[in-house]
A and B are shown apart, each in its own frame.
Chain A
Amino acid sequence: MPALKVEHLAKTYPQKRPLFGAAPPGVRAVRPMSFQVETGETLGVVGESGCGKSTLARMLVGLLEPTEGTIEVEGKALGTADPSEFGKLIQYVFQDPQSSLNPRKTIRQVMEAPLKRLHGMAKPARKRRIAEIFASVNLREEFLDRYPHEFSGGQAQRIGIARALAASPRIIILDEPVSALDVSVQAQVLNLLADLKTRFGLTYLFITHDLAVVEAVSERIVVLYFGAVVEIGRADRIFASPRHPYTGLLAESAPVVGRSLKAPEQKGIELPDPLNPPSGCAFAGRCPRATDLCRTREPELKQMGEDQLAACHYPLEN
């Protein structure tokens, strides 16, 4: 049984109705997508800004109601958006560690909330649990009575992780958890996450825009483009032998020591407009292989070789 199973999950943000005339069609931030995450696995999700990463994440934790589709955790379907129902099963670690902590609450107050509200723990039990969690994320207990502004980004992110752990969830959604951190601190946090995963038998969904990071931490990777999954594959293979041209473009664009500079795309390419989405493949405007078929029919996600799926009419050969 997969830890997390998502089927046809989609979100359309409605647009404001103009004074005259009918409401325009909404912005399809996440197009119907299905995938699953096995227990103990880290599934990486990559994509460029605006491709729907955060919308997906917020739906998965119940902060945003999906327009359609279902979310199942360990075989049990979760109802409509209600963070307190989701909270015990799925937790969230935010991109900006500082702004995810209430500036006017001590760390202890922050840590107590999930224990009290989700698990109804009594005070002594809470105290013990907090001490345990803090030890596991390498934070000193004396931090508990301080306020968020007294912490550096890396420390604040550890606190964010500790809070997520306090709910004893099965799954943690990590939304760009290290993007706001400096590289030297980033490695500390990534290693801590890996450690916690094995220790508590967690399952991760790791969202980022950084290809190198996602490759370093995930077992499998989902590539998003314009709100849709374009490719899913094993982390150690997907960038080395991509099947979807967009994945290929991403891999070529990433700056790598020892690779000479070449622009994979020369012209200033215009990205698809969410208010006026293209018919057919969203990548067609940038794709060197695009044909009329691509511009009229949306490609579906198809199995391509062993455990790799891509949504492309003319996939790259390897």
Chain B
Amino acid sequence: MGGYILKRLISAVPVLFGITIIVFLIMSLIPGDPATAILGSYATPENVEKLNRELGLDKPMVQRYFIWLGNMLTGDFGRSFSLNRPVIDEVLERFNATMILSGTSFLLCSILGILAGVISAARQYGFADKAITFVVLIGISVPSFFLGMMMILLFAVHLRWLPVSGMYAIYGGGDISDLIRHLIMPALALAAVATGVVARLSRSAMLEVLRQDFVRTARANGVPERRVIMGHALRVAMVSILPVLGIQAGFVLSGAVYIEIVFQWPGVGRMLVDAILARDLLVVQGGVVFVAACYVLFNIAVDVAQSLLDPRIKT
């Protein structure tokens, strides 16, 4: 197992390189003079010159890439002009908030989604199945930002059960219960779509598996039905559900951008959008590379879980 993890980690290296190359290439699409484009309205002649030196913008592209990569590897993601602080500091601080939000949502969507899917499949065409299918359909069709706004209107403005936005109360907040109160609505709004997707997939994976011959064998052996479904069938269905959970993690991370804007959550997504609107491209570059790298690591964890689940995968 240790060997397999190592192997996957090593094979992630080219992917990480690829990510930096893709980001670098996209950034080189910027029309016009890059330094001015990057600095935008903050451009002073000194700054332009400094940036040109930092990025070696006068040098050929390949060389520029390696300078940029080298800097990043030493933890130097450059300095944000709009925020006037090192990009890496800002990214790390914001990433923490994003992780709390999307981590919670990811757990919610995995647990609720699989549960709903299994119930739905086991009771195919029954009332529970129809109800779940209906809720799921709404879940995957409503834009998360709209859902978030409607939740604020209902639960925060009208019912006054929960705070409107932010991560902590401005006065007297800061403890864990305060965080949870602030977290409930954004986490649910963010989880809605992913839960729907996971539930649909789990349902069809379970239906697919329940038709297979080994389920009939288990039944022919007199294995109780509950165990047939929760043991035999779900375990095999998980083989196709797990990779989708990996993909959904990416979708949750993506959806977090909207939710962070709607709920004023101080995460990476909001930082990125602000940075794009302010044309603070170093922040965009650094943020994208950092989050993508974390996502690659997460997917390795998913692969490892998959290999634990399925002995047919060569480790």
A interface residues (Cβ-Cβ under 8 A, vs B): 19
For A16, the closest partner residue in chain B by CB is B314
User: How close is A16's CB to chain B, nearest CB, in angstroms?
Assistant: 10
- The docked-state distance in angstroms from the alpha carbon of A19 to that of B314 is 13
- The docked-state distance in angstroms from the alpha carbon of A19 to that of B13 is 13
Residues of B within 8 A of A19 (CB): 7, 10-11
Chain B 5-26, CB-CB to A under 8 Å as 1, else 0, gives: 0010011000000000000000
Q: List 3 A-B contacts (CB under 8 A).
A: A19-B7, A19-B10, A19-B11
Residues of A within 8 A of B11 (CB): 19
- The docked-state distance in angstroms from the alpha carbon of A19 to that of B6 is 11
- Determine chain B's interface SS by DSSP, over half rule: helix
**Can you list the 3 inter-chain pairs with the closest CB atoms, starting with the nearest?**
A19-B7, A19-B10, A19-B11
User: How close is A20's CB to chain B, nearest CB, in angstroms?
Assistant: 9
Residues of A within 8 A of B10 (CB): 19
- The docked-state distance in angstroms from the alpha carbon of A19 to that of B9 is 12
- The docked-state distance in angstroms from the alpha carbon of A202 to that of B10 is 57
User: How close is A24's CB to chain B, nearest CB, in angstroms?
Assistant: 13
For A19, the closest partner residue in chain B by CB is B7
- The docked-state distance in angstroms from the alpha carbon of A231 to that of B7 is 46
User: How close is A15's CB to chain B, nearest CB, in angstroms?
Assistant: 12
- The docked-state distance in angstroms from the alpha carbon of A19 to that of B7 is 8
Q: Which of B146-175 contact A (CB under 8 A)?
A: none
User: How close is A138's CB to chain B, nearest CB, in angstroms?
Assistant: 37
User: How close is A125's CB to chain B, nearest CB, in angstroms?
Assistant: 49
Residues of A within 8 A of B7 (CB): 19
- The docked-state distance in angstroms from the alpha carbon of A19 to that of B10 is 10
- The docked-state distance in angstroms from the alpha carbon of A19 to that of B11 is 9
- The docked-state distance in angstroms from the alpha carbon of A78 to that of B10 is 45
Q: Which of B237-270 contact A (CB under 8 A)?
A: none
For A18, the closest partner residue in chain B by CB is B7
For A20, the closest partner residue in chain B by CB is B7
User: How close is B9's CB to chain A, nearest CB, in angstroms?
Assistant: 11
User: How close is A95's CB to chain B, nearest CB, in angstroms?
Assistant: 22
Chain B 191-213, CB-CB to A under 8 Å as 1, else 0, gives: 00000000000000000000000
User: How close is A27's CB to chain B, nearest CB, in angstroms?
Assistant: 15
User: How close is B15's CB to chain A, nearest CB, in angstroms?
Assistant: 15
User: How close is A67's CB to chain B, nearest CB, in angstroms?
Assistant: 25
Q: Which of B1-49 contact A (CB under 8 A)?
A: 7, 10-11
For B11, the closest partner residue in chain A by CB is A19
- The docked-state distance in angstroms from the alpha carbon of A19 to that of B14 is 14
User: How close is A265's CB to chain B, nearest CB, in angstroms?
Assistant: 27
For B7, the closest partner residue in chain A by CB is A19
- The docked-state distance in angstroms from the alpha carbon of A232 to that of B10 is 51
User: How close is B171's CB to chain A, nearest CB, in angstroms?
Assistant: 56
For B10, the closest partner residue in chain A by CB is A19
User: How close is A23's CB to chain B, nearest CB, in angstroms?
Assistant: 16
- The docked-state distance in angstroms from the alpha carbon of A23 to that of B108 is 45
